[in-house]
Amino acid sequence: MKKVNLNKERCIGCGMCCSVASENFTFDDEGRASLISETVTDEAIEMSEMCPVNAISIIEDKCNCKECNCEESCDCSHECNCGEDCNCTTDNKCSGNCNCNK
C-alpha cells in the first residue's frame, strides 16, 4: 500500500500543495505544509511531481505500525515502540533490537 510522505524540513511554505491537494495538506503554525491525510490522491501524486523542493513523495507503506520504522511488511500493534533496528516477522511479532509490548 502506498502513502503520501512529507519531508517538513525541506518545506519552504510556498503553499502550492495546500492549494492543489487540500485533502492532504494544510498550513501549520509556522506557515509550512502539514500532512493531514496520507491517502494517495491524484492531486497528491501531482504535488509529488511539482513540489519545488521535492518535499512531497509517494512511498510504499511497508508497516502498519504507527511508531515503527520497520523494513519489512508487518502488522505490528499500536503498542509497538520499535526503533530503527526493528525487523517485524510474518507472525506480526517484532524481532531484533525491538521493544514491542507483546
Sign of the torsion angle spanned by Cα atoms 69, 73, 78, 79:
negative
pLDDT of residue 59: 87
Residue ranges covered by each domain of the chain: 2-60, 63-102
**pLDDT greater at residue 7 or residue 86:** 7
- Mean per-residue pLDDT of the chain: 76
- Number of neighbouring beta carbons within 10 Å of residue 25: 26
pLDDT of the residue at 8: 92
Q: What is the CATH number of domain 2-60?
A: 3.30.70.20
Compute the distance between CA of residue 84 and CA of residue 24 in angstroms, rounded to an integer: 26
- pTM above 0.85? no
- Give pLDDT, residue 1: 76
- Render pLDDT for 34-78 as a digit per residue (tens, 0 to 9): 999 999 999 999 999 999 999 999 987 655 554 455 544 455 543
Query: Cα separation of 41 and 64, whole Å?
Result: 19
